[in-house]
A and B are shown apart, each in its own frame.
Chain A
Amino acid sequence: MCRFVAYLGEPIVLDEMLFLPDSSIVEQSVHPQLLSAMNLAGFGVLAWDAESADPNRPWTYRTAGLPFFDRNLRALSRKARATALIAHVRGVVLSDREVVDEGNVHPFRFDGVPTTLAMNGDLEDFPTMRYDLLSHMRPELARQIEGTTDSEWLYALILSQVADPTAPADPDELADATMRAYKIVREVRARHGLERQSAVNLVLSDGRCLVATRFAYDYGWYHDSWTFAGRERANDFTTLWFAQGTGYARHDGEWSVGPGRPESSIVIASEPLTHDRSRWLEVPEYAMLVARSGPSGLTTETLELDL
């Protein structure tokens, strides 16, 4: 079912988010706290460093392998800095129909497009609805789809609702585009009689803003089959958490944002990066969290997704 983490704020060393917290994103590939399945189908990270050469271009690391055995990733993460990042571990159903390769590893980023996406969700019977989405997509974006995931198609669909996908992202426009894309998906589901719960938690970023959603179609109408999506009960509405404050460091032994105003940093994650969840807050269900960094610090806004 996947897990992701996104960060925007003061510079951090990647290790502090990918490996060091006691429930880091890499740890969540095998021991997620709020999910019964493991996430063993690949790891990816995109990271922006405002001080680097070509700061609008993130550096990228993707592997279909397991991140906890990856010495190169660990070595890089101890050195690389970031002022924004999205990291993702992919989980899939244990089936030979699933394609586990680098082309399906999140986050996705098309050539010439500054906005990137990672997703934690699962659209019911995606093959049935896939080609209905094509008529809502720009051909030049649809052509860039390389993998087989619903997430990459949704990425192309959202970008297709933006006036100029090659321009730096405007968070408000990105939020509107996401809502329009979700409405298109709802219409296509209705056309095909798809009525089972489908979570669509995702995060978009261009390194200067984050737009994240906690959303599900037909929540409470579980899949009949006892699949990974149909197995969750206590956390049946796919989770999304956040913490915002100043900086990001170890406080009293726990990795978290620090105190003080104005706030400068935000972490958004499928689930807390620490076993102690008391320094984290849940994003409300059916909501979108929009965060942007500016000269006066970080500003955030929560929007209702009533689609």
Chain B
Amino acid sequence: MSATADTMALLRTLPLFEGLPAEEIDNLAALSQPFALEAGQVLFEEGDPAEAVFIIASGEIESLKRLPGDRALSAARLGPGTALGEMAMIAGVPRVATARAVEATAGIALDARAVQSLVAGSHPGARELVYRVGQQALHLLRTIVERLARELDLDKRATQPMRAIAPAEGELAPIAPGPDEAAYLATILFFNRFTPDQLRELFGGMRRLAAPRGTELVAEGQRPHALLFVLRGAVESTVHHGRAAARVRLSGPGRIVTHLGVLDDGPCPYDCRARERVVLLEAPREQLLEIRERDDAMWRLFRHGLYQDMVDAIVQADRPLARMAAAGDGFTDRVG
């Protein structure tokens, strides 16, 4: 396949590119290279630098998380029309799993940096593509959490028994930002990418909330109306199945608690509780939409931070599944 007419034709057939202007697809096609793999051949290894997004035209690729003792957890099987390694485009983090061809597979590779350059320029199609890939990552996070909930079983030795933290007597209450907050924000994850002026403009009007250890912040099944950023302390997101429970994520300073439920408009699949006494910043959905409407450099910084945190959430959500698979609790695959 040449990276011209055939590539454009392929891109047009994929839901990910549906409705994008022809010249945008043209731009993306110009950035792509064909790839072909034999059955069993590895496309990339976990931990490799992520430089490209791969789109499968034919064949099948398995995404694997390697485990101790030459075992592996099969994360997903992807066929024609799906994108693989899309985290490269949205977060620029190393590969979180190994991708291996199940059968002879072919497709195209999009250079992640070049796509990012298009996004930074006036290319609405590229921006729309990044948005769709972000939604795909959210879907992946929800899929992992749902799988974890299904697999939880107290009889499985790797399921960590979790006692409920003693419920707190207090509740989530608004507080005024401290005088040293701006200096502090410049030192923590997510916020450290903004200038003091940007911090004031973006977050100045949002509420700060405090809660004692043990306070329930979001109940499983609830539809939260705001992203909660942890400023101090920590929030634990826990998924339940019968009497079994597993921590999906521990969110410390600079991490976001409610991607699922706010960014994908579905019910929150876990409960969120203050594991330590906590100070949060509340970013209501309407204000997020206003920031998104700006579509400027500040929004791009914001979105990049959001996606990086989402990828971290995906990596953390994978950990209990990996521990269960490593213990051989019913769904372990051997590395071939």
Residues of A within 8 A of B (CB): 218-222, 226, 233-234, 236-237, 243-246, 251, 256-261, 263, 275-282, 284-287, 301-304, 306
Q: Tell me how far the C-beta of A206 lies from the nearest C-beta in chain B, rounded to whole angstroms.
A: 23
Q: Tell me how far the C-beta of A5 lies from the nearest C-beta in chain B, rounded to whole angstroms.
A: 15
The CA of A226 and the CA of B188, in the complex, are separated in Å by 12
Residue of A220, A226, A246 with most chain B CB atoms under a 10 A cut-off: A220
Q: Tell me how far the C-beta of A236 lies from the nearest C-beta in chain B, rounded to whole angstroms.
A: 5
Contact of B276 among A221, A251, A263, A281 (CB under 8 A): A221
Q: Tell me how far the C-beta of B210 lies from the nearest C-beta in chain A, rounded to whole angstroms.
A: 12
Residues of B within 8 A of A (CB): 45-47, 65-71, 98, 157-158, 160-163, 165, 187-189, 192, 230, 232-234, 247, 250, 252-254, 275-278, 319-320, 322-323, 326, 328, 334
Q: Is the CB of A218 within 8 A of B70?
A: no
Q: Is the CB of B165 within 8 A of A257?
A: no
Which residues from chain A contact B65 at a C-beta distance below 8 Å?
278
Smallest Cβ-Cβ distance to A252: which chain B residue: B70
The CA of A277 and the CA of B322, in the complex, are separated in Å by 13
Smallest Cβ-Cβ distance to B246: which chain A residue: A284
Q: Is the CB of B69 within 8 A of A220?
A: no
Task: Give 9 pairs: A residue, B residue, CB < 8 Å, sorted on A.
Answer: A244-B326, A256-B68, A256-B69, A276-B47, A278-B46, A278-B67, A287-B160, A302-B158, A304-B163
Which residues from chain B contact A277 at a C-beta distance below 8 Å?
47
Q: Is the CB of A282 within 8 A of B163?
A: no
The CA of A306 and the CA of B247, in the complex, are separated in Å by 13
Q: Is the CB of A233 within 8 A of B278?
A: no
Which residues from chain A contact B68 at a C-beta distance below 8 Å?
243-245, 256-257, 279-281
Contact of A220 among B71, B230, B328 (CB under 8 A): B230
Q: Is the CB of B69 within 8 A of A246?
A: yes
Q: Is the CB of B254 within 8 A of A219?
A: no
Smallest Cβ-Cβ distance to B45: which chain A residue: A278
Q: Is the CB of A278 within 8 A of B66?
A: yes
Q: Is the CB of A278 within 8 A of B276?
A: no
The CA of A282 and the CA of B312, in the complex, are separated in Å by 14
Q: Is the CB of A236 within 8 A of B165?
A: no
Q: Tell me how far the C-beta of B256 lies from the nearest C-beta in chain A, rounded to whole angstroms.
A: 14
Whether A284 touches B247, Cβ cut-off 8 Å, given contacts A220-B278, A278-B47, is yes
Contact of A281 among B47, B67, B165, B188 (CB under 8 A): B67
The CA of A254 and the CA of B158, in the complex, are separated in Å by 25
Q: Is the CB of B253 within 8 A of A257?
A: no
Q: Tell me how far the C-beta of B60 lies from the nearest C-beta in chain A, rounded to whole angstroms.
A: 22
The CA of A301 and the CA of B157, in the complex, are separated in Å by 8
Smallest Cβ-Cβ distance to A258: which chain B residue: B69
Smallest Cβ-Cβ distance to A231: which chain B residue: B187
Q: Is the CB of A284 within 8 A of B319?
A: yes
Q: Is the CB of B233 within 8 A of A219?
A: yes
Residue of B45, B68, B187, B278 with most chain A CB atoms under a 10 A cut-off: B68
Q: Tell me how far the C-beta of B179 lies from the nearest C-beta in chain A, rounded to whole angstroms.
A: 13
Smallest Cβ-Cβ distance to B249: which chain A residue: A285
Q: Is the CB of A234 within 8 A of B163?
A: no
Q: Is the CB of B253 within 8 A of A222?
A: yes
Which residues from chain A contact B334 at a C-beta distance below 8 Å?
259
Whether A282 touches B319, Cβ cut-off 8 Å, given contacts A220-B276, A304-B161, is yes
Smallest Cβ-Cβ distance to B94: which chain A residue: A277
Smallest Cβ-Cβ distance to A251: which chain B residue: B70
Contact of B252 among A220, A245, A303 (CB under 8 A): A220
Which residues from chain B contact A219 at a C-beta distance below 8 Å?
233-234, 250, 252, 275-276
| CB-CB nearest 7 A-B residue pairs | A245-B69, A243-B68, A278-B66, A259-B70, A220-B233, A220-B234, A220-B252
